[in-house]
Structure 1
């Protein structure tokens, strides 16, 4: 810790070199001698060996040609604003194959030609039936439909989102 009332202490002077000049010269001469001896040992000695000539391979030239194709122009789409409609009226229609499947599960012996039938009346934009827990579209708020298995679900508002819930 320095005291602000005292003058700073100057750094200690460098001690004089204790090694005499004659010993420093010997170190330099010894290092130069070792370097020269190493160079003589490493240098190649010609023991009657013939020099090897490298064969040069012919050069290969590659030419690339690039043709540019014109980029397609911008796509112009027209946006039409849909008018708001009252809540949709949804009807569920059971097909004959669905009735046959339900009667088959009751223990009847008849078999239907189709393995699974979609009984949902409202489908997603990709064409699939909704299931419970999925988000509803704005046009489906309050609507009732069925899952792919036939369980009724309703689009209700809960937890800050419109979702399909079991009815």
Structure 2
């Protein structure tokens, strides 16, 4: 019974004798080897010669160099000084007007049920208007207190993640 996984055997060839190459081929191999060795030896000595020449070049003494520097000093120019005097007039100071309103008599009644005074706001917006409750405050107004145009008292407080005017 034969094994199906085994490769079929090939007929074996007889081994070659040690000196099966012809003599002329052996001579060529020896000549080529000797030629390569000679080239390597010549290249190695040439390389050593190049290194010796390079070291002599590096070790050569430096040659002196001559440097001349010429400096020209210009004559000083005449100095001109101009003096301008300007008289500044003082600016007039801003005029502040404060208006006071008279309070109504204690016995009189008002229809609105609140304060009957028309307030004058001490802090105004950049556009010149009085603030109202719920509006945003400027950075310079944080914590300040003023009145609305209707006379209600408001304060700049931090609420709802922002600085706003609220009734106080």
| TM-score, normalised by the number of residues in structure 2 | 0.34
| TM-score, normalised by the number of residues in structure 1 | 0.34
Greater relative contact order (CA < 8 Å, ≥ 6 in sequence): 1
Could you say which structure has the larger radius of gyration?
2
